[in-house]
Structure 1
Amino acid sequence: MHVFLETERLVLRPFADTETDVDGLFALDSDPDVMRFINGGKPTTREAIQARTLPRLLHDYPVFGTRGFWAADERATGAFLGWFELRPLDDQSPFVVELGYRLNKAAWGKGYATEGSRALIDKGFTDLRVERVTANTMAVNTGSRRVMEKSGLSFLRNFTGDWPDAIPGSEHGEVEYDLVRADWEQRRP
């Protein structure tokens, strides 16, 4: 197994087009609590995982020479916890990337999202020529907002996204957080 990044408790690896990864993604995206701020809690079908989700997660970004999404496994057990994202917003430039994460409920509240996010941010600034990390979520998603803050990102703005189907909380809009290289460098020990 190719490992993209390891932390104290996590292994981030590229997704594979295997039944194991499809099973993990299907379980993750079938949980209404996990999907609450994505689509209002609707489960994703196995067919949609195979036809749409997995191909997106398998996309290579030539400016990085790697992918932008990684499966997150617990280091001690190998259990699939979810995924992390650090992908360029422009396929032709590594300078601005989006940070994201989706973890199963069993991993919530244990610091995994912050641990993985911090490690990816550090790797982006040290190895991938990133100049700015951005992340967004629904304004009412306090858990995700707290992860962004604990990962070193700062609140940038409120905005109204285009929600084709409104879900509870979407009326409050979305928020964007970011971290630029100069601020990251000042915070490093």
Structure 2
Amino acid sequence: MDIILQTDRLLLRPLEISDATDLFELNKNPNVHKYLWQKPEQVIDESIKIIEYVKRQYKENNIGRFATIIKETSEFIGWTGIKFVNDHVENGNTNFYDYGYRLDEKFWNKGYATEATQFWLNYGFNQMNIKTINAYTHAENGASNRILNKCGMNFMENYPDKDGVLWKWWQMNNPK
């Protein structure tokens, strides 16, 4: 997949194996995993497997999570993007488009997540002609829940995962 997208401050490009070290730095941080599954990565091979998985998604679904880079400094700050979920069931759903992001802690509270979210929702609806985009967040992740709400996603319901952890289900329909 040879596509580079951009916002005012960010470059968005497909993840590459060369991103493994940066991705590992992100994914080994326990604070990043606070509202995920509390399983920070222990070895870089885990990040390599994630990148290989995402690269398969690009081929199979023509979309997936993208490396997110600050234009001005070329710093890798995490990943953002849309993926097609067809490998598991989430809140009773499969075969749906999911928006998500994960940013390195040192880049939190700088507006990057909001900027990327606005871009990807616009891209998904206007370039990909997606009918509906979903997202799901840990119920206690106030920052992510505020970002999704601010960007126009609609909170649909709370739901428990298999371990009883409460998550929020978000949805936005194509405004066209």
- How far apart, CA to CA, are the structure 2 residues paired with 1:104 and 1:131? 30
CA positional deviation for 1:43: 3.6
Residue 172 (structure 2) aligns with? 179
Unaligned 5+ segments in structure 1 are none
Where 2:50 maps in the other structure, the secondary structure is helix
Check conservation: 2:78, 2:103, Cα contact below 8 A.
yes
CA positional deviation for 1:158: 0.6
Segment of structure 1 superposing worse, 33-42 or 114-123: 33-42
- How far apart, CA to CA, are the structure 1 residues paired with 2:158 and 2:40? 25
Distance 1:125 1:58, change over 3 A: same
Query: What are the within-5 Å matches in structure 2 for residues 96-107 of structure 1?
Result: 96-107=96-107
Pick the aligned partner of 1:74 from 70, 76, 99.
Answer: 70
Size of the aligned set, in residue pairs, is 169
Task: Calculate the TM-score normalised by the size of structure 1.
Answer: 0.81
Residue 149 (structure 2) aligns with? 149
CA positional deviation for 1:137: 1.1
Residue 60 (structure 1) aligns with? 57
Task: Calculate the TM-score normalised by the size of structure 2.
Answer: 0.87
- How far apart, CA to CA, are the structure 2 residues paired with 1:63 and 1:124? 17
Residue 84 (structure 2) aligns with? 88
- How far apart, CA to CA, are the structure 2 residues paired with 1:43 and 1:106? 18
CA positional deviation for 1:57: 2.1
Where 1:162 maps in the other structure, the secondary structure is coil
Residue 31 (structure 1) aligns with? 29
Where 2:20 maps in the other structure, the secondary structure is helix
Root-mean-square deviation (CA, aligned residues, Å) is 2.2
Query: What are the within-5 Å matches in structure 2 for residues 102-113 of structure 1?
Result: 102-113=102-113
Residue 49 (structure 1) aligns with? 47
Q: Deviations over 1:104-125 (max 9, x none)?
A: 1111011111110110110111
Work out the percentage of aligned pairs sharing the same amino acid: 26
Distance 1:60 1:41, change over 3 A: closer
Unaligned 5+ segments in structure 2 are 88-94
Q: Larger C-alpha radius of gyration, 1 or 2?
A: 1
Q: Would you identify which runs of 4 or more consecutive aligned residues in structure 1 move more than 4 Å? A: 61-64
- How far apart, CA to CA, are the structure 2 residues paired with 1:44 and 1:154? 35
CA positional deviation for 1:60: 3.4
